[in-house]
Structure 1
Amino acid sequence: MPPSTTCRPRMPAEKELQRIAALRQYQILDTLPDKEFDMITQTVKHVFDVPMVAISFVDTHRQWFKSEIGMGVCETDRAGSFCTHTIEGPDPMAIPDALEDPHFRSSPLVSGPPRIRAYLGAPLASPEGCNLGAICVMDHVPRQFSRRDRDVLAHFANLIMERLELRRAVAEDVLTGACTRRAFEERFAAAMRQHQRSGSDLTLALFDIDDFKAFNDSYGHPAGDRVLRSVGRCTRSTIRRSDIFGRVGGDEFAIVLPDTSLAEAEELLRRLRKRFAAIRLAEAPDVVVTASFGLAGALDPEVSPRSLMKITDKALYAAKASGKNAICLQDQERPLTPPRASLQRRIDRD
């Protein structure tokens, strides 16, 4: 492993955008403490005999700690942070004495709490090669880190990424590619915490496929699975990587849209309706796939995920009661889009 250096060139802006997009896909930011990651930091602390350890994910303007020992905070500004330099390269970065390093001697993390003097960090690299953050060990006194130290910390970085990949695989619904209900609820709660912290827009959409049970009864469950698979594919290719798509019931889905106004969310759902209508099935060529949508925004800064789900579900019920294949906004009895013949009604009419 080559010697580490703090003089790492900044990654190009396009690559940084790709890195942030990859980080968003893991939906890890602002999630609750986790015993599994806490066990890793405890083990690393014991192995390196240091007072400070952190698993850090580097966001656009901050570094957020999934687990930390000795830092005393859950996040810090990205400016002046050590990990923002670590993620610029593929190998661990060691700082024997931050006061002797021109890049870090003026960092608030060195001059003030937690008063980092020595640092060793290994990047957390996704399978695609995007460095999402770092696992780092820190001391209050100068310290030399050996090649073995770098190798051991790189091993822990690989272990963390293996756990993240496994969680992402388990949290994904195999048929539709959406989050499972449990994973969706965790990520939705994290998005709500981030929304409340930043004050940015957040919108929730709920939808279910019209007359799906009748379709299954008419054409069989294999055909129904193909509808679900197509709906999942259309949704995933329409929303952004930062959005959260979950399967919350048999044929019911939810989409969390951070930094999205109600008007922007409505336009997205209109595009999604068109994508669904374009789905074609060999065993049912005359069937048009439709869905009913409920839409609500987190307008009250104190609203909880559960409360917002109830508000949005009420809007979804109104869309279904209006004739299906429609979009209804919270607190509106009339649909935003005129209902048309739903999937099974088109079958019956033909």
Structure 2
Amino acid sequence: MQVDKEVQRIAALRQYQILDTLPDKEFDMITQTVKHVFDVPMVAISFVDTNRQWFKSEIGMGACETDRSGSFCTHTIEGLDPMAIPDALEDPRFRSSPLVSGPPRIRAYLGAPLASTEGCNLGAICVMDHVPRQFSRRDRDLLTHFAGLIMERLELRRAVAEDMLTGACMRRAFEERFAAAMRQHQKSGSDLSLVLFDIDDFKAFNDSYGHPAGDRVLRSVGRCTRSTIRRPDIFGRVGGDEFAIVLPGTSLAEAEQLMRRLRKRFAAIRLAEAPEVVVTASFGLTAALDPEATPRSLMKIADKALYAAKANGKNAICLSDQASPSTPPREDLPRRIDRD
């Protein structure tokens, strides 16, 4: 696979925000149905990441992910049609694969690529057996049909998960992706910061200028935020005018610098119907420092910091000094307020 094509494919995969998400009964129902239809011991819905294949749903694999090297699905995504391997021991590409020589001992494989609307193969739906097996044209067509059903579900999830006005994740999707980012943070030990912010005096603005003008503010805030943060960051709308940003691999100091830039971009927003109005926001920041931290505990701490920013005159960035997210925040904890 060409390098630029692979970069484009990985970028497309990231847009679906499916990796490391929790089990989903809709996908589990598909794998159960495929297992019954094909009468096989192993089925997987696999998404091929940079160095691994991750299973959104699997039966008989005994793992949630495997190394990409030696995997069958990494070959499946290189083509447009299903890939059939009647006997892996007779195929030089796979006879030495640990998935063949060791558990789960794949001998026969049929995989159909999961193609996005842009034509990028994100992964595969595959059926596997422990013994050699021939796959018919009907088998290939049927598995391609199931691949289409899976992509329909992914497209629907992506459409429902996004707030059409701001481009942010809706609350449920944000919480799922935040939880996945926390699991990755706890596995890798890398930095992770959380930002909560809301638009100052937004209700008063709506009352004075009307909801259409308010929608234009929200649209501009969403556009500024999306173009300021990075692709791996998670931007969610958690209330009417309240937003959250999860920043994986980002320290609290780096998050503060990023929010300073974002605050300046908000101040540059101009509306024809209210040229005198300057859009400002208040920010509460915290970082995942405690190994026992959870998305809920971080949200509570960031919310306390946001409250402190608003209580100290708004248009401010407040960094929580709460070092242990497992300890309930107190109103009297010192926090640093930044107003430039």
- C-alpha separation between the residues in 2 aligned to 1:259 and 1:306? 19
8 Å CA contact 2:320, 2:336 repeated in 1: no
Distance 1:136 1:208 in 2: 45
Aligned partner of 2:339 in structure 1 is 337
Q: 2:276 is aligned with what amino acid?
A: D
> 3-state SS of the aligned residue for 1:334?
strand
Pairwise CA distance, 1:117: 0.4
The structural deviation recorded for 1:322 is 2.1
Q: Distance in 2 between matches of 1:264 and 1:60?
A: 26
Aligned to 2:269: 279
For the aligned residues, what is the CA RMSD?
A: 1.3
Whether 2:26 is the aligned partner of 1:26: answer no
Asked if 1:296 is matched to 2:286, the reply is yes
List per-residue Cα deviations over 1:43-95 (Å, max 9, x = no partner). 11111111100001111221111111111111111121111111122221111
Amino acid in the other structure paired with 1:337: R
Counterpart mapping for 1:183-198 below 5 A: 183-198=173-188
State, as a whole percentage, how many aligned pairs show the same letter. 89
Q: 1:122 aligns with which of 112, 131, 142?
A: 112
Tell me if the contact between 1:322 and 1:334 (Cα under 8 Å) persists in the aligned partners.
no
Amino acid at match of 2:160: V
Task: Out of 262-271 and 151-160, give the one that drifted further.
Answer: 262-271
Partner residue of 1:254 out of 239, 244, 248: 244
Corresponding residue SS for 1:141: coil
Q: Are the counterparts in 2 of residues 110 and 117 from structure 1 also a CA contact under 8 Å? A: yes
- Map of 1:314 onto structure 2: 304
Q: What's the TM-score once normalised by structure 2's chain length?
A: 0.93
Query: What amino acid sits opposite 2:245 in the alignment?
Result: I
Alpha-carbon distance in 2 for matches of 1:20, 1:201 = 22
2:148 maps to 1:158 = yes
**Letter of the structure 2 residue corresponding to residue 127 of structure 1:** T
Corresponding residue of 1:217:
207
The one-character-per-residue Cα deviations of 1:128-187 (angstroms, maximum 9, x if unpaired) are 111111100000011111222111111111110100100111111122111111111111
Paired amino acid for 1:336: D
- Counterpart of 2:34? 44
Amino acid of the residue matched to residue 136 of structure 2? S
CA–CA separation in structure 1 for the residues paired with 2:185 and 2:55: 18
Whole-Å separation in 1 of the counterparts to 2:66 and 2:124: 14
Question: Any conservation in 2 of the 1:20–1:59 contact (CA below 8 Å)?
Answer: yes
* Partner Cα separation in structure 1 for residue 291 and residue 72 of structure 2: 33
Letter in 2 for 1:226: R
Matches of 1:275 and 1:147, distance apart in 2? 56
Question: 2-side partners of 1:91 and 1:57: how far apart?
Answer: 17
Q: Deviations over 1:171-221 (max 9, x none)?
A: 111221111111111111111112212222211111000111111111111
Query: For residues 199 and 186 of structure 2, what CA distance do their matches in structure 1 show?
Result: 31
Kept after mapping to 2: 8 A contact 1:57/1:64: yes
**1 CA distance for matches of 2:100 and 2:56?**
21
In the other structure, the counterpart of 2:160 is: 170
Deviation track 1:233-290 (CA, whole Å, cap 9, x = no partner) reads: 1111222222211100110000111122223222221221122111110100111111
Moved more, 329-338 or 319-328: 329-338
Give unmatched runs, 5+ long, in structure 1: 1-10, 339-350
Q: Which of these residues, 52, 67, 70, is aligned with residue 77 of structure 1? A: 67
Q: Tell me, yes or no, if the aligned pair for 2:218 and 2:241 is still in contact at 8 Å.
A: yes
Distance 1:262 1:133 in 2: 35
| Secondary structure of residue in 1 paired with 2:301 | helix
Within 5 Å, give how 1:220-235 maps onto structure 2: 220-235=210-225
- Conservation of the 8 A alpha-carbon contact between 1:25 and 1:242: no
Unaligned runs of 5+ in 2: 322-333
TM-score with structure 1 setting the length: 0.91
> Which residue of structure 1 lines up, in the alignment, with residue 258 of structure 2?
268
**Larger deviation, residues 78-87 vs 263-272:** 263-272
Between the aligned partners of 1:82 and 1:336, the Cα distance in structure 2 is: 52
Q: Confirm or deny: 8 A CA contact 1:121 1:135 kept in the other structure.
A: yes
- Secondary structure at the residue paired with 1:256? strand
